[in-house]
Amino acid sequence: MPDLEDAWDVFGATVQKGAGDLAKNLFSDWQEPAKQDAAEFIELARDKLPKWTRALAQGHLSKNEFSLLLRSLEGLAELNALKAKGIAKQKLEQFRMGLISIVVNAALATVGL
């Protein structure tokens, strides 16, 4: 089973593509700022994500626990690039929640879970 740290570039590309698709659905524009915000979030979470993913792969965490841990980091998703575009707070929150889901799914897929 691959380690998230070893596959970080693949993981990051998956998250950025998902963030761009989510932005297209929510805002019909602003895909690049969304990708920028996604990249900033996963970089801020980089010290925790590989460790948590390893714990999940080794059976020390359930998928639900893993998801809850990631959701605890949502405050790191400041979404500054999208805020600068004047996106409404409700849409930003929808994007933030969607981004967390994308990160969870991308991490699980990257390590084969």
Average pLDDT, the chain: 84
pTM for the full model? Answer: 0.80
Q: What is the tens place of the pLDDT at every residue in 90-106? A: 888 898 889 889 988 99
Q: Are 74 and 91 in contact (CB under 8 A)?
A: no
DSSP 109: H
Q: What is the tens place of the pLDDT at every residue in 63-82? A: 899 889 988 888 778 888 88
Q: Three-state DSSP class for 61?
A: coil
Q: Three-state DSSP class for 2?
A: coil
Grade residue 109 by pLDDT with cuts at 50, 70 and 90.
confident
Q: Which residues of 29-60 are buried (b: 16+ CB within 10 A; e: fewer)?
A: ebbebbbbbbebbbeebeeebbebbbebbeee
**Residue 84: enclosing H or E segment and its boundaries?**
none
Higher pLDDT, 101 or 4: 101
Q: What is the pLDDT of residue 76?
A: 76
Burial class (CB in 10 A: 0-12, 13-18, 19+), 108: middle
Residue with tokens 């380690």: 3
pLDDT at residue 7 above 70? yes
Grade residue 1 by pLDDT with cuts at 50, 70 and 90.
low
Four-residue CA torsion sign, 9, 21, 19, 61 = negative
